[in-house]
Amino acid sequence: MIEEQTLIDDLKQTETQARAFEKLVNTYKERLYWHIRRIVLNHDDADDVLQNTFIKVYRNIDNFKGDSKLYSWMYRIATNESLSFLKSKSKKMGIDSVELQETLLNNLESDVYFEGDKIQLKLQKAIATLPEKQKLVFNMKYFDEMKYDEISEVLETSVGGLKASYHLATKKIEAYLKEN
């Protein structure tokens, strides 16, 4: 916690900013990348969103009040950036969000940066059928193995609501995998 506060203080001071930013990127890049990648699915898009997330963090660090953990704040920015990215992508392509998910999944099969087997692809297809919130909760809990408290801080939802979302998500995924 003290280390996090030092990092924040260093990010806010011009003379220590560059070094602190490097530390920030190196500390959180992988966790944030995988979180974003699970939402946007494609590597190039994930890279774009991740870079924009860090740029936003860098430029808005003065607005960080410390009400939540730095990590949760960055996760929240990454989530919002990813969702906005998908929205603008579907707008550009002139399709709705469901059609966009289908396109992303179809592209995943031929993606050089996807080496999943049939069941992994099927799982991604099952996740794609979930509503946005359940999708986020499932990914954060199942793949990221985040605690409900941490997810609650990022998504600003009660722990009870998250548990219900996760339960519903797993039931839907199980049903999808049995049917398909």
Partner 1 sequence: MKATNKNSGFKLPENYLENFNNSLLDKIASQEEMEKDKLPTKEGFNVPNDYFNNLHKNIVEKLNETPIKVISIKSYKKYYYFAIATAAILLLLIGINLNKTETYNMSDLANADIDAYLEYADLDLSAYEIAEVMPIDNLDIIDVLEVGIKEENILDYLDSNMDDFNELNIENNEY
Buried-state track 70-90, b at ≥16 Cβ within 10 A, e below 16: bbbbbbbbbbebbbebbeebb
Contacts of 138 by beta carbon, 8 Å cutoff, 6+ apart: 127, 130, 165, 166, 169, 170, 173
Tell the smallest beta-carbon distance from residue 31 to partner 1 (Å).
Answer: 11
Q: What is the spatial distance between Cα 26 and Cα 40, in angstroms, rounded to a whole number?
A: 21
Tell the smallest beta-carbon distance from residue 116 to partner 1 (Å).
Answer: 2
Q: Which is nearer to partner 1, 144 or 161 (CB)?
A: 144
Tell the smallest beta-carbon distance from residue 120 to partner 1 (Å).
Answer: 4
Collapse the DSSP code of 69 into the 3-class scheme (helix H, G, I; strand E, B; otherwise coil) and give the result: coil
Closest by CA position to 70, among listed 140, 132, 37, 23:
23
**Residue pair 81/56 in contact by the 8 Å Cβ criterion:** yes
Q: Report in angstroms the alpha-carbon separations of 171 from 48, 67, 118.
A: 33, 34, 20
Q: Which is nearer to partner 1, 71 or 114 (CB)?
A: 114
Residues at the site binding partner 1, with contacts judged by CB under 8 A: 21-22, 25-26, 29-30, 33-34, 37-38, 41, 43, 47, 50-51, 54-55, 58-59, 112-117, 119-121, 123-124, 142-143, 173, 177
Q: Which is nearer to partner 1, 81 or 153 (CB)?
A: 81
Q: Which is nearer to partner 1, 61 or 153 (CB)?
A: 61
Tell the smallest beta-carbon distance from residue 172 to partner 1 (Å).
Answer: 13
Q: Which is nearer to partner 1, 50 or 155 (CB)?
A: 50
Tell the smallest beta-carbon distance from residue 63 to partner 1 (Å).
Answer: 14
